[in-house]
């Protein structure tokens, strides 16, 4: 089997703590369990990368709004946000771990992700 390695895939996960990053990729999808729409952001710098899912739900909107505001995109009530505007934006994030219970297996899982977005 031949496996192609695309640009940036050889990088490791970012270390915990504050990291100055650029947004290099956005992927869209829906959650496996409840089919909630999300977009996954790849935060990257010369040291590595981290991906973070933003769920389009009432509980997820504060994080989405915080991300857009952290990169300088004004959020206005009644207007739509376009995730394509995020590509290439720079910001400071805090990398850490979050644990949750998997709804299917009921096992605890721990994810490494961006846990805070800081206006640069």
Q: Under CATH, which number does the domain 17-118 receive?
A: 2.40.50
Residues 6+ apart with CB under 8 A from 31: 38, 55
Q: What is the DSSP string of 59-111?
A: TTHHHHHHHHHHTT----TTS---GGGGTT-EEEEEEEEEEEE-TTT--EEEE
Q: What is the C-alpha to C-alpha distance for residues 41 and 107, in angstroms, rounded to an integer?
A: 25
Report pLDDT for 52: 93
pLDDT in tens, 33-86: 789 999 999 999 999 999 999 999 999 999 999 999 999 999 999 999 999 999
Provide the whole-model pTM.
0.82
Mean pLDDT of 15-37: 93
pLDDT tens by residue, 78-109 = 999 999 999 999 999 999 887 878 777 888 88
The helix/strand/coil state of 54 is strand
Q: Which residue has the tokens 């899982």?
A: 109
């Amino acid at each position: 089997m031949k496996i192609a390695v695309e640009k940036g895939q050889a990088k490791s996960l970012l270390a915990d703590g504050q990291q100055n990053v650029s947004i290099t990729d956005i992927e869209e999808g829906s959650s496996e369990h409840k089919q909630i729409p999300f977009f996954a952001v790849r935060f990257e710098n010369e040291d590595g990368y981290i991906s973070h899912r933003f769920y389009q739900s009432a509980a997820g909107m504060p994080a989405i709004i915080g991300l857009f505001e952290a990169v300088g995109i004004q959020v206005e009530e009644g207007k739509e946000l376009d995730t394509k505007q995020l590509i290439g934006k720079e910001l400071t994030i805090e990398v850490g771990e979050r644990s949750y219970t998997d709804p299917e297996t009921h096992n605890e899982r721990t994810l490494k992700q961006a846990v805070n977005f800081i206006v640069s």
